[in-house]
Structure 1
Amino acid sequence: MKKNDPVFTVTHRDTGCHARTGTAILPHGTVETPAFMPVGTNATVKAMTKDWLAEIGFSVILANTYHLYLRPGADLIRAAGGLHGFSGWKGNFLTDSGGFQIFSLPAFRKISADGVRFRSHIDGSAHFLSPEKVVALQADFNSDIQMQLDVCTPYGVKRKKAEEALRITLDWSVRAFRAWMDTPDTYQGKLFP
């Protein structure tokens, strides 16, 4: 598949609302939508074997870039053959950017237009994630569906702060898209802008 190949097809639209069903053709299988994604934060789903997940009919697992980046790390996952080699899961992976996890540590993070500086919840070490680095990490993970870094706002946020978070997130989306388009086609997870 190439970057601009269509991978999602709408199969039905509800005439009474905006609901729809669809099919996503991904490198590790087809995903019928809407789809439930079991959470495998660290590339495995707790209390379920990969065989059970496949037997139930799941086609995609949700993993988290923040947690995978901190432990076990991109180098180990890349060396294992990406998330699929690391976990043994033959289906698809969607990797969240980790933005919410960073947001949930307000005493340990600083958000700017450049990205986000934070301290690890594991050992207190300092880290910096930019939209470009999050794209690169997810490429190292060989993720089938990547989510961009975003600024999460708390409940009750004032309009001015929400607008600032939206402005930063939109800027980050442009930077993430450019980084993704500049990434060499060296893994199968790159599908569409």
Structure 2
Amino acid sequence: MSEIFAKGLVCPLDKNNVDTDQIIPKQFLTSVSRDGFAEALFFDWRYLADGSANPEFVLNEPQYQGASVLLTRANFGCGSSREHAPWAIQQYGFNVVIAESFADIFFNNSINNGMLLISLSAANIDFLFNRCKQGPQQWHIDLANQEILLGNNAAIGFSIDADIKQRLLSGLDFIGASETFSPQIDQYEARRRAAQPWLG
């Protein structure tokens, strides 16, 4: 298993309190499919009224095309609990979001969809934004060792719950993690049926 969970170009979205309505507006929530949300990501910021790309929005800037790491600020993913928000972020191409903090429901939805969310102090977030001002950044996310490798031997450590870390490294969601206990569950059920056959 590789220690590097993700690597790639960083896109700096310098905003606090980005809510799920901004991540994916309500008009895109009618689909029953989990696909096709990439174009809706940050729709009201990415596009002008005539449907053309907004040249002043960071995702449309040429140097950030193909970015896979999103850097932002505090309380990312606040607002309603729509799971479409992490779907849109992932389908656009991001597999890591780094911020000072995340809304709880957005955090859990993202982790369960296999996306890594990293919380850092405000000082470290400022440091990373300042690095982005120096030019496009390519970072490696070493989840096993809990480090963001910035290049030139620079790194920032991060904390993560041990259970979440293991699930992401194993590529498991909540159901998949539960299924790893199938032998123990089967043994328990066998014992229960033997002791209480009338329960079925």
Is TM (by shorter chain) over 0.5? Answer: no
Higher-Rg structure is: 2
Give me the TM-score of the superposition, normalised by structure 1: 0.34
Give me the TM-score of the superposition, normalised by structure 2: 0.33
Give 1 or 2: higher strand fraction.
Answer: 1
